[in-house]
Structure 1
Amino acid sequence: MSEDRLERALLSLDGLSIGDAFGQQFFASHVVAEAGPENPPLPPWKYTDDTEMAIALTETLRDCKSMDQDALVQRLVERYQAEPYRGYGAGARRLFEDLAQGGSWKVLSREMFGGSGSHGNGAAMRVAPLGAWYADDVDDVDQTIEHAARSAEVTHTHPEAVVGAIAVALAAGWAWRRESQPVEELLPWIISHIDQSEVRRRLEWAATYPLDTWAFTIASQVGNGIEISAQDTVPYCIWMSAAFLDDYSDAMWTAARVGGDIDTNCAIIGGIIAMNVGADGISDQWRRSREPLAWSSK
């Protein structure tokens, strides 16, 4: 079973990391002006801290067979120290530097932002491989919920960030188990499994829009990550995942056009959609364009 779980997690990580690296290219003005489906950005596509943290999460699952929080923190700090210039935000840099000096994540993560904890989108961004790992627990989604929350808490203790991470993990698992279920069931199913929150309120609002709605409309209503928060990122990304669940490439190009926190949006959406389309649903050209993933040994 562990081999199957790791295979699924790696599939999600592939979709996440390729999406992250693709989306990151659109912060260059010449790419925005020139790129299109017949003219993708020139490789190599460098990935960001989004992928670095997702690799750390996947390595933790690989080595511990569950979400061991202390092991995840160690991986996150090690990867940050090895490559601190991958685009980490100021809050993450400060947290990882303090952790490297021997600080306790249980204290430091709760002290962030004046004691409210971070409600940024970083916990949601990295969690899709965890949803993939627990995707076989169809009769016990509490496993996904519990471990997604644990993965978030080490850096993001604000309830919105935790709910956002849970929502993305649930979406990845649902996409894997989908079979013949109508894609319109994705958002209502997630909503039924998450706590009352701003993330849930915006998901409920997004769910009122048909999946053929113009994506810019959804972004205008619930956000597209421009505030770098779970609240203004996760509802949009899950709606986009549902709308494009069968087409990885179209999802990425649409997310790039809509804008916002493009690399993180593409990472979240890519990590979910990969669970539905499989490895064959992601272009080999895109996979080769993304720089190779740097793994730590077991």
Structure 2
Amino acid sequence: MTDFGCLRDSLDGLSVGDALGAQFFVPGTTFDDLLDGTAPAGSWPWTDDTEMASVLAAQLIQDGAVDQDRLARAFAERFEPYRGYGGGAVVILRRIREGEPWRDVARDAFGGQGSMGNGAAMRVAPLGALHAGDARTAALEAMRSAEVTHAHAEGILGAVAVAVAAAEAAWARLVRNRPEPRELLDAVAGYLVDGGVLTGVRRARRLLGASVAEAAYELGNGSQVLAQDTVPFALWVAATRLDDYPAAIRACVEAGGDVDTTGAIVGGIVAAYTGRAGIPPLWLAQREPLPHLENAA
């Protein structure tokens, strides 16, 4: 089923995780700022994670499905480099903005191998949440959303993994039946093929009793900005803290690395389960306002 309420809740969770995670790149902000119910002061600007997720969400609200040509144009037209886009993404989006076909641009990236970065995964949770209980459609639509910028299989499979997790989380919320961590990870693994992302998800399943530090050491924390270095840890966090949004985001901060991206992925999945009510109101208030989705695409 499609559920736009779940999509919007997931986008709120994604954007708060992104904006809060980004605060930990600001000098003087430490993990202690999240303890005892506190949070970094001031307004929290969001990054490219939220910008691209908002564009994708807007198209889904308008059309109900991914139109790759329109999505590529919207990504290219709306991207603001100061939001924290990586160098590879800037090149891809500028070339598309200048009129080059997105298929050619995506294939040309990184010496012709295509991007295996975490960018497609970071933006896709609301798409998965939209397809609550329909993981197959979530996986197929995630592939389509990823392909406009990521031609490498790992980058695409990272998006599939996150979308399936969000679809399962949203369905669990609707039927009021939280999956066990191993069940959620097994559901994700069922939609992947052999590669780094699947290997990481399988390893995450074996680490369900581990500490955050151990899981981040074994799975990666996004510091390489690759799907296989980011998605397995994010899924481990979401699976083990699915009903506790603040604890899930704290785990991302504790792990370090690409905190805004792990926070975005985890926040989008967990909020698909908890709903907007699971996000601390103070955190929502401090997040930079989102663009109007009806106009974002």
Asked whether the two chains share a fold, i.e. TM above 0.5, the reply is yes
Structure 2 CA distance, aligned partners of 1:182 and 1:26?
30
Report what 2:282 is aligned to.
285
1:99 to 96, 99, 105: 96
> Is 1:240–1:251's contact at 8 Å kept on the other side of the alignment?
yes
Q: Which runs of 5+ in 1 are unaligned?
A: none
Displacement after TM superposition at 1:136 (Å): 4.0
Deviates more, 1:83-92 or 1:7-16: 83-92
Letter in 2 for 1:45: W
> Is 2:66–2:141's contact at 8 Å kept on the other side of the alignment?
yes
Displacement after TM superposition at 1:34 (Å): 5.4
> Is 2:50–2:123's contact at 8 Å kept on the other side of the alignment?
yes
SS at match of 1:41: coil
Q: Which runs of 5+ in 2 are unaligned?
A: none
Structure 2 CA distance, aligned partners of 1:46 and 1:230?
24
> Is 1:124–1:230's contact at 8 Å kept on the other side of the alignment?
yes
SS at match of 1:37: helix
Report what 1:21 is aligned to.
19
> Is 1:43–1:290's contact at 8 Å kept on the other side of the alignment?
no
Displacement after TM superposition at 1:200 (Å): 0.3
Report what 1:67 is aligned to.
66
Letter in 2 for 1:183: P
SS at match of 1:45: coil
How is 1:145-156 mapped onto 2 (pairs within 5 angstroms)?
145-156=139-150
**TM norm structure 1:** 0.94
State the Cα deviation string for residues 216-238 of structure 1 (Å, max 9, x = none): 10111111101000000000000
Report what 2:269 is aligned to.
272
Displacement after TM superposition at 1:142 (Å): 2.4
Structure 1 CA distance, aligned partners of 2:234 and 2:87?
23
Cα gap change, 1:93/1:288 in structure 2, threshold over 3 Å: closer, same or farther? same
Structure 2 CA distance, aligned partners of 1:103 and 1:78?
13
How is 1:138-177 mapped onto 2 (pairs within 5 angstroms)?
141-177=135-171
SS at match of 1:15: helix
Report what 2:33 is aligned to.
35
Structure 2 CA distance, aligned partners of 1:108 and 1:30?
39
Letter in 2 for 1:106: R
> Is 1:18–1:270's contact at 8 Å kept on the other side of the alignment?
yes
Report what 2:3 is aligned to.
5
Report what 2:76 is aligned to.
77
1:214 to 211, 230, 242: 211
Misfit runs of 4+, over 4 Å: none
Structure 1 CA distance, aligned partners of 2:121 and 2:216?
17
Letter in 2 for 1:105: W
Deviates more, 1:26-35 or 1:84-93: 26-35
Displacement after TM superposition at 1:165 (Å): 0.4
Report what 2:292 is aligned to.
295
How is 1:126-205 mapped onto 2 (pairs within 5 angstroms)?
126-137=123-134, 141-178=135-172, 179-180=176-177, 181-205=179-203
Q: RMSD across aligned C-alpha pairs, in angstroms?
A: 1.4
Report what 1:44 is aligned to.
43
Displacement after TM superposition at 1:5 (Å): 2.3
> Is 2:19–2:45's contact at 8 Å kept on the other side of the alignment?
yes
> Is 1:245–1:273's contact at 8 Å kept on the other side of the alignment?
yes
Structure 1 CA distance, aligned partners of 2:19 and 2:186?
30
> Is 1:43–1:289's contact at 8 Å kept on the other side of the alignment?
yes
> Is 1:116–1:158's contact at 8 Å kept on the other side of the alignment?
yes
**TM norm structure 2:** 0.94
Cα gap change, 1:281/1:33 in structure 2, threshold over 3 Å: closer, same or farther? closer
2:228 to 228, 231, 249: 231
Using the aligned pairs only, state the percent identity.
Answer: 42
Report what 2:242 is aligned to.
245
Letter in 2 for 1:229: L
Report how many aligned residue pairs link the two structures. Answer: 290
State the Cα deviation string for residues 156-192 of structure 1 (Å, max 9, x = none): 0100011110000000011112232323311112112
SS at match of 2:3: helix
State the Cα deviation string for residues 209-268 of structure 1 (Å, max 9, x = none): 23x420110111111101000000000000010111111001111211110100000000
